[in-house]
Amino acid sequence: MAEFDAKKKKDSSRLKEKEQMRETFARLSAPVHVTLNSWEEHERIEGYYEFQDYGHLFSCDRLLKLETFYGKVQMGYNPNRARSFVFANMKTNIYDTVNSRYQRSMKEYQQKPEQKKGNENRAWVSGRWQNASVLLEKAENKPWSVRSMEPYLHNTNMETILKTMPYLSSEQELSQLSLRKEAIVQMQKKVSENARKNERSEDAQLHERMREASEESALLQAILARKDSQKRAFIRKLNYAFDIDKKRMFEYYREQRRHAMQEEISVIDAEGDGMQQEASDDERKK
């Protein structure tokens, strides 16, 4: 009974791995709609909430949007911090064009309930959907690259990254590929050993397992090749969208900051003149 349970558990895990590989390949092969925005449009970043305090703060401009069936990846420029960032959010439905019943139920489930005392009604605190979005920045003021994003990749929700940008991580596929290659080598040794001993009873089963492992290895190699090419294309798109007009963008926001500082200085001077005027009026009355 224990052997049957172990075999059933092993088969279910292998089936789950196969489904995950097919899903990853589908995400990598999905068509992408590219939208290139100019900073002069001051386009808002969809799904991104900005926390603005008092003072002259600017809203973030969207420079690039990559949209697939599974999510949206957007690059924006934050003029307050003078740096660009990548914001990715998953879609709760593969056809995320209207608020479907599944989306509404998911949002209601992820809102945080606060149970009141007695027979009072329950109060709901609305908030962002958990594990549905991720924010990536560069660790240094250099062009976008995997090395510049690595500190943020290991400190964010990897599930969201694998759903929206699966090409940024290949560790799981590499480990699975090495395991399958080792299994194929072990099974080939077992077939050779059976041939020397003239025992052919397990050959059919071994050849079937070798065929399955070879097919999975080929699929993993195709996934890794797609990930490598799409990762380089993604980074190239980020750098192109940011560098295309960054000089004029920097000059514009530099001028805007200078005007804001002049306004603040003029307000402070006006308040100082008013206080001096009030003090002089008080002295005359005395």
pLDDT given at position 234: 95
pLDDT given at position 36: 93
Question: Is 251 a domain residue?
Answer: no
Question: Is 250 a domain residue?
Answer: no
Give me the residues paired with residue 61 across strands: 77
Could you give the CA distance from residue 103 to residue 113 in angstroms, rounded to a whole number? 18
Amino acid at 158: M
Question: Is 216 a domain residue?
Answer: yes
Question: Is 265 a domain residue?
Answer: no
Cβ burial, residue 126 (10 Å; 0-12/13-18/19+): exposed
Question: Is 54 a domain residue?
Answer: yes
For tokens 């798109």, name the residue: 237
80 close to 57: Cβ distance less than 8 angstroms: yes
pLDDT along the chain (286 residues), means of 10: 58 80 87 92 84 67 90 91 88 51 55 49 48 81 86 78 87 91 91 83 86 92 94 94 92 90 78 64 62
Handedness of CA 172, 177, 183, 186 (dihedral sign): negative
Question: Is 65 a domain residue?
Answer: yes
Handedness of CA 134, 238, 143, 260 (dihedral sign): negative
pLDDT given at position 242: 93
- SS (HEC) of 172-231: HHHHHHHHHHHHHHHHHHHHHHHHHHCCCCCHHHHHHHHHHHHHHHHHHHHHHHHHHHHH
Question: Is 183 a domain residue?
Answer: yes
pLDDT given at position 2: 54
pTM of the model: 0.75
Number of folded domains that form the chain: 1
Domain of 170, in residue numbers:
2-244
Handedness of CA 201, 207, 213, 216 (dihedral sign): negative
Question: Is 198 a domain residue?
Answer: yes
Among candidate residues 87, 65, 85, 45, the one with its CA nearest the CA of residue 237: 65
pLDDT given at position 138: 85
